[in-house]
Amino acid sequence: MDNSTRYAALWITRSPIASRMGDWRLAAAWRDHVLHTHDPDTRNGTSMASVASLSASLQQRVSAALAAAVPSATGADPLLRRSDRADFQANGVLGLAKRQKADPRVLAAEVAAALPTAGGAGADGDDTIAAVEVSGPGFLNITVSDAAITRNLAARAADDRLGVPLKEHPGTTVVDYAQPNVAKEMHVGHLRSSVIGDAIVKILEFGGEQVVRRHHIGDWGTQFGMLVQYLIEHPHELDHSEDEGDTGEASMSRLDRTYKASGALFRSDEAFKERARRRVVDLQAGDPETVALWQRFVDESKIYFDSVYRKLDIEIRDEDIVGESGYNDMLVETCDLLEKSGVAVWSNGALCVFFDDIKGKDGEPVPLIVRKTDGGFGYAATDLSAIRNRTGDLHADTLLYVVDVRQSLHFRMVFETARRAGWLTDEVTARHLPFGTLLGKDGKPFKTRAGESVKLEDLLDEAVQRATAVVREKGEKIGLTEEEITANGVQVGIGAVKYADLSTSLGRDYVFDLDRMVSLNGDTSVYVQYAYARTRSIFRKAGEGQRAVAHPELPLEAAERALGLHLDAFGDTLAEVAGVYEPHRLASYLFHLASLFTTFYEQCPVLTADGGPAQVENRLFLCDVTARTLRQGLWLLGIRAPERL
């Protein structure tokens, strides 16, 4: 079995709906979906030759030079960063001079003298640094050698992971994301949670972290009493009819119809209301008939979720879906523990946790309610039970929640409660990663013209449609087939939606503007995808015998150096992104990479380089490392890179 077939087989067994329904058509769709894309993922983890970036090597050298100049400065931070004066600038001398009451320029000169420079005395063949200069009040401007840049990239190219190191001490992180609600339409909030969560999961996993994915779907609560009772009284409501078909959309319309009809009855018919209430009790007690009917709602919803996630190109595995119902058996105990430890107290018939600093507008304290007056358990009891499971049973040391900013107070109260109860200890980090709202062009929360919330699927379809038009215009010129145009339209359209979401910092609201999102000029995914396709087109045009080979002996032009230094920073960028959970930093790294490549492409002819065959090889080599970095980076954001665009 070749790699892609093996990978497809894996997807078929993992595809929740395909395996459950044993439906070969769905399985075939998944396989097609996978075979038409090459995933850098298939290459992950096969090599272990991590490469220190030039920035990290310099950091070390400057630290050593600082310590040589001022022995008591061992461990002082050289404060090294990229600079437009030279390649790097180190500002650490300033603070050190102040502490030593020394003249910063004199001290900087001493540190500079202690740095090994190519060909300099004491360099011992270390030619990483080409030149050091003292500037301003005592900055060090450092230029690295062209040879060092090419050598570093060559080491990256030799590694399947582009030399990106794995975390030295990986931990276990639970990521709570992509949590739609059963029997309800998915909305734009679920889009953001899914897209951001998926990227965070991929980035953490690529760094070697053990990640447990949790889709905390809304599959429990009093509304299920009403739904199940209605289904008992209208047993054919969820049957699949010939003309409706088995699509996700058909599932959603069946669910929606049932939801509306049962809701109307619940509001108008007191007797039904009472039967629905009793049904909730049966459900919570685990009555088999009730649970079986509840399961039908869950299954039907999963068909719908699956169709949306397939469109979104996000993999949701059945075993990772542990919704609110998954913690039902823990709720009573969670409340007992809180009550016995005194963390929660009864107030007006409800079990509550109070906080000194959380008060309502009227100045009255706002409690976290874990058990309601009617004896029912709320959202908070479930989240607290989930924390017990995630820290106690899954042994997670980090808990992340990719959830709408409007739930910030909820998570603040839940985390604080869990700390008091001892379920979150000092060894565990719990973070809510709040995201902002998607806005319409009018600056108000994104709605249809009629003021209704926008169906996620409609929004995705429209993005694909717009993207296909853009792809077609270019594609016809380069002779793409209709099939390629359609496939690229999907990758560009879905990429555009994801990129727009991921390139804004999480907490900010942003305007959903499809025209801007599929534009070829601007901070968009298609701009980055286009740079990737350009690298591929160069390779298609390359003649026999024109290969990508690194030549560290060749001098580099400014555009080549800039590109090379940025490529070398891929691993450092990923480590930073993984440390702060901010995918927008990766998006901006990739956008910058695409622009540097565009400049390189304009200024440095590749196949017709006038420096001869070695220069052609070296430039092809730069194209290759660029292509791999772009593709890997996009993949970590959940975005595909078409070969021809």
For binding to ligand ARG (CB under 6 A), which residues are involved? Answer: 176, 179, 181, 216, 218, 383, 401, 403
Instruction: Give least dist CB 19 to ligand ARG, A.
Output: 24
Residues with Cβ within 8 Å of residue 486, at least 6 apart in sequence: 468
Instruction: Give least dist CB 411 to ligand ARG, A.
Output: 8
CA distances from 278 to 125, 271, 282, 283 (A): 82, 11, 7, 9
Q: Which helix (H) or strand (E) holds 310?
A: helix 288-312
The burial class, CB within 10 Å (0-12 / 13-18 / 19+), for 412 is middle
Instruction: Give least dist CB 266 to ligand ARG, A.
Output: 21
Residues with Cβ within 8 Å of residue 472, at least 6 apart in sequence: 485, 489
Return the axis-axis angle of helices 482-503 and 188-206, rounded to nearest 10°. Answer: 90
Output 402 or 636, the one with its CB closest to ligand ARG.
402
Residue pair 518/467 in contact (Cβ under 8 Å)? The answer is: yes
Residue pair 193/403 in contact (Cβ under 8 Å)? The answer is: yes
Instruction: Give least dist CB 314 to ligand ARG, A.
Output: 16
Output 146 or 176, the one with its CB closest to ligand ARG.
176
Strands lying side by side in the sheet with 368-371: 345-347, 350-353, 368-371
Instruction: Give least dist CB 383 to ligand ARG, A.
Output: 5
Output 116 or 218, the one with its CB closest to ligand ARG.
218
Return the axis-axis angle of helices 248-268 and 270-285, rounded to nearest 10°. Answer: 120
Output 383 or 617, the one with its CB closest to ligand ARG.
383
Instruction: Give least dist CB 179 to ligand ARG, A.
Output: 4
Instruction: Give least dist CB 26 to ligand ARG, A.
Output: 25
Output 88 or 327, the one with its CB closest to ligand ARG.
327
Instruction: Give least dist CB 165 to ligand ARG, A.
Output: 32
Instruction: Give least dist CB 403 to ligand ARG, A.
Output: 4
Instruction: Give least dist CB 195 to ligand ARG, A.
Output: 15
Output 202 or 216, the one with its CB closest to ligand ARG.
216
Residue pair 174/400 in contact (Cβ under 8 Å)? The answer is: yes
Looking only at the bridges linking them, the beta strands covering 88-90 and 80-82 are antiparallel
Distance CA 503, CA 481 (A): 31
Q: Which of 475, 435, 467, 437 is nearest to 454 (CA)?
A: 437
The burial class, CB within 10 Å (0-12 / 13-18 / 19+), for 632 is buried
| SS3 state at 226 | helix
Residue pair 145/128 in contact (Cβ under 8 Å)? The answer is: yes
Tokens 């565990």, residue? 428
Q: What are residue 134's phi and psi, to 5 degrees?
A: -90, 130
Distance CA 250, CA 300 (A): 10
Distance CA 220, CA 401 (A): 19
Output 428 or 559, the one with its CB closest to ligand ARG.
428
Output 263 or 378, the one with its CB closest to ligand ARG.
378
Output 164 or 316, the one with its CB closest to ligand ARG.
316
Instruction: Give least dist CB 35 to ligand ARG, A.
Output: 33
CA distances from 522 to 482, 526, 588 (A): 26, 9, 12
Residue pair 403/437 in contact (Cβ under 8 Å)? The answer is: no
Distance CA 595, CA 176 (A): 34
Instruction: Give least dist CB 57 to ligand ARG, A.
Output: 42
Output 387 or 470, the one with its CB closest to ligand ARG.
387
Output 177 or 527, the one with its CB closest to ligand ARG.
177
Q: Which of 303, 295, 158 is nearest to 240 (CA)?
A: 303
Q: Which of 562, 623, 622, 629 is nearest to 596 (CA)?
A: 562
Instruction: Give least dist CB 181 to ligand ARG, A.
Output: 5
Distance CA 146, CA 560 (A): 9
Output 154 or 456, the one with its CB closest to ligand ARG.
456
Output 198 or 383, the one with its CB closest to ligand ARG.
383
Output 344 or 414, the one with its CB closest to ligand ARG.
414
Distance CA 114, CA 134 (A): 13
Q: Which of 493, 514, 522 is nearest to 588 (CA)?
A: 522
Count the neighbouring beta carbons within 10 Å of the beta carbon of residue 232: 14
Output 44 or 328, the one with its CB closest to ligand ARG.
328
Count the neighbouring beta carbons within 10 Å of the beta carbon of residue 109: 17
Instruction: Give least dist CB 410 to ligand ARG, A.
Output: 7
Distance CA 396, CA 174 (A): 6
Instruction: Give least dist CB 552 to ligand ARG, A.
Output: 51
Output 205 or 383, the one with its CB closest to ligand ARG.
383
Instruction: Give least dist CB 302 to ligand ARG, A.
Output: 15
